[in-house]
Amino acid sequence: MNLTDTSCSLTSAEYQYSFLPVVYILALVVGLPGNLAALFVFTFKITPRTAFSVFISNLALADILILCTLPFRIHYHLHRDNWVFGDVACRITGVLFYCNNYMSICLMACICVDRYMATVHPHAYQRQRRPWRSLAVSVALWCVAGVAMLVFVVLGPLKTNVNQSGGRSCFENLSKHEWDTRAGVYNLLGLILFSLVPTVIILVCYPLAVKRISMIRTNTAQRALRVIYTILAITLLCFLPNHLVYLLHILQRTGVIKSCTTANRIFEARRVTMALVTLNTCLDPVLYYVTTGHFKWRLLKMTWLCGRVESSRDVMIYILALVVGLPGNLAALFVFTFKITPRTAFSVFISNLALVDILILCTLPFRIQYHLNRNNWVFGDVACRITGVLFYSNIYMSICFMTCICVDRYMATVHPHAYQRQRRPWRSLAVCVALWCVAGVLMLVFVVLGPLKTNVNQSGKHTCFENLSKHEWDMRAGVYNLLGLILGSLLPTVIILVCYPLIVRRISMIRTKTAQRALRVIHTILAITLLCFLPNHVANLLHILQRREVIKTSCTTANRIHDVRLVTTALVTLNTCLYPVLYYVTTSHFKWRLLKMTWLCGRVERSERTEPYCDCRMRPGQQAVQPLFLQSSRGRKAATASLLPSLRGRKAAQALIQLPSLSNPQPEVRGAAPLPTLFKEISSPFKLYQTPRSDAMSCRKTSTSI
């Protein structure tokens, strides 16, 4: 729990107000469906019940309880750590969050011990293998957790407290007296019994199980090894960093660590490690899926999903792309289209890229139904043509827009002077319109004339974009595929791979923030290209060569190419999940606009500066002073260009550029508004003001405390 010693003045970690909500939203979107499905499958669908399934069911339940508290924590951090739901809700949600994190690692330790017994002591394990034993262990853990939670809710000091800024914090800002009486004991017991002990058990069982499994080649032993590997990865990634930082936090609160600088570092590290702990709710479904064959098939064969399933990998990838990619791309389209001004070439390309991804995602429900129905298309020939053409054409459009972004960043870094002279939004808009026109014409041709339609396969089912005859392939389909591969795939990929080393070479000599941002863009685009697109290009090339009989292949090789092509096509869809990462990482505008949108959580008061928030609003009788953003000539020029786009406003602001402060005589500008009015218009979007040095003590810092 995050607690504060008031004897040390701590700085504010401004990043937490955007970082933590983003992590919690990701955990909710990804973790909640996976854990709900796991709880349903392992509780009602898998028989006979085993110790492993019992522990997995309880682990999924613990994760769901954690996820149910995240909406409150998201609201709390978006409002700058101000709790508005009352003391009772703070106690309940806080205790549920922390106690179920302890439950999560305890149940993972139980699973690890179960797999250790199954491999190292198989005979004893078989004799004592009874589901009621694991059920009794789970009940005992829940009883201990329930008693602890009840004590914390009723007697614990973990409640809302008024922080320095006047807001109410939750599970923070406890006094030294509260820490010395009970909070310190609670934290120390939780760290030792429910954090360090389970972690030690996992780290001890791991080498013993690996040593034993190295001598066994059975499927059961290999499955046990996968379980241990997955649990070890989750422990090392999510839990162990939090345990270490938590130990340092306790040492700092008990006075062993006295440095304020160290306390600030511990506070910042604890924010990050707590977010990592929450991410285990996303990784636990990987444990369920990877470690047991039952969950794979039960999940995809559940009657409420869609009967019997054959193409499990494609379906899972499409569902993941829908759940993760659709909210991210909708938010990006809204932000880059309506919220970011002035419009730049980068924002224009990003808006179109988000639109392309949304069109791809809109076709995925049809493809999911198609694969769930054992590749039987039931929506008719017209729907097959439209959805198929939208899917494949927009994949080509996606990599084309990525190429445009890459070229834009290349020009901005390698040829900055030419880029500044030709930097006009209408140029990028014209490129986008041209790409959409070409894509629209080709899609219309494919829908009206193309052979890409439903065909009846040997089993009597209607397939979509598959099983084309040799005549159809030789007539038009082969030409379409070859042109798409060369112009829409290989050529953009070559451009990206050529621009990358040139940009890196240039940026190695530049240390500006703009250059580093351009490098982040290129790194992200290159990663998406290599991960999602390049394997699909190679598979498509092999497919075309095999269908054109350029390479003679056996039926087995042809089947392998077909299977690989299906997998790589699904991987291409994953780029819709990775593009929001491109939007978020490469531009600071998207970060703040996304978190400030009113439909996300009302109006969020947040400084866009990295310095601590300073509550220095003007007081009665205090002299009016200049805003911080007007202290530099660069800031005044930015105000002139962006905040006052009209001709009259620019003329009036030109005089302001020459002024070091508002105390100077006001210039007279014909046709311009009076300077105080102009100053009010300029400074209204900003909340930070600089006080005179004589009044420096009146500047009150409001920091988020430990």
Task: Point out the least confidently predicted range of 455-464, 494-503, 646-655.
Answer: 646-655
Instruction: Give the pLDDT of residue 62.
Output: 92
**3.30.70.260, 1.20.1070.10, 1.20.120.1200, 3.40.50.740: which CATH number matches 312-586?**
1.20.1070.10
What pLDDT score does 623 carry? 44
Model pLDDT, residue 594: 54
Q: Which pLDDT score, from 0 to 100, does residue 600 have?
A: 43
Could you give the percent of the chain with pLDDT greater than 70? 68
Total Cβ atoms within 10 A of residue 15: 13
Burial tier of 403 (Cβ tally within 10 Å: 0-12, 13-18, 19+): buried
Two structure tokens written together for 249: 């936090």
* DSSP one-letter code for 691: P
Residue bearing the bigger pLDDT, 587 or 198: 198
Please say whether the beta carbons of 694 and 637 come within 8 A: no
In the DSSP assignment, the letter for residue 689 is B
Report residue 49 as tokens: 């019940």
- Dist CA 59 CA 43 (whole Å): 12
Is residue 604's pLDDT more than 60?
A: no
Q: How far is CA 531 from CA 137, 183, 302, 304, in A?
A: 43, 47, 31, 33
Buried b (16+ CB within 10 A) or exposed e, 558-588: eeebeebbbebbbbbbbbbbbbbebbbebbe
- Note the pLDDT of residue 204: 85
Distances, alpha carbon 622 to alpha carbons 112, 431, 617, 675, 698, in Å: 65, 53, 10, 19, 11
Residue 479: pLDDT over 50: yes
The residue whose two tokens read 């070091």 is: 660
Rounded to the nearest 10 degrees, the angle between the axes of helix 16-40 and helix 280-291 is 30
**Separation between Cα atoms, residue 383 and residue 370, nearest integer Å:** 12
Could you give the angle at the alpha carbon of 24 between the alpha carbons of 23 and 30, nearest 5°?
90
**pLDDT score of 649 more than 60:** no
Distance between CA 403 and CA 356 in Å, rounded?
14
pLDDT at 3 over 60: no
Q: What is the pLDDT of residue 139?
A: 92
Contact 405, 525 (CB under 8 A): yes
Q: Which tops the pLDDT comparison, 613 or 5?
A: 5
Q: What is residue 61's predicted lDDT score, i.e. its pLDDT?
A: 92
Residue 534 falls in which region: left (phi positive, over 0), alpha (psi -120 to 50) or beta = alpha
CB 409 within 8 A of CB 503: yes
Other C-beta atoms within 10 Å of 215: how many? Answer: 8
**pLDDT band at residue 680 under the 50/70/90 scheme:** very low
d(CA 245, CA 569): 42
> Alpha-carbon distance 640 to 637, whole Å?
5
**Top-confidence range, 167-181, 270-284, 304-318:** 270-284
Please state, in angstroms and rounded to a whole number, the distance separating the CA atoms of residues 192 and 31. 27
In this structure, which CATH number among 2.40.160.20, 1.20.1070.10, 1.10.10.2840, 3.40.50.300 belongs to the domain 16-301? 1.20.1070.10
Amino acid identity, position 259: S
The number of C-alpha atoms within 13 Å of 665 and in the hemisphere containing its C-beta is 3
Q: Could you state, in order of their start, the residue ranges of all structural domains in the chain?
A: 16-301, 312-586, 623-690
Q: Is the pTM of this model over 0.85?
A: no
* DSSP 3-state of 285: helix
Q: Is 57 or 626 the better-scoring residue by pLDDT?
A: 57
312-586 matches 16-301 in CATH topology: yes
Cα separation of 15 and 608, whole Å? 10
Question: Half-sphere exposure of 120 toward its Cβ, with a 13 Å CA cutoff?
Answer: 15
Amino acid at 373: N
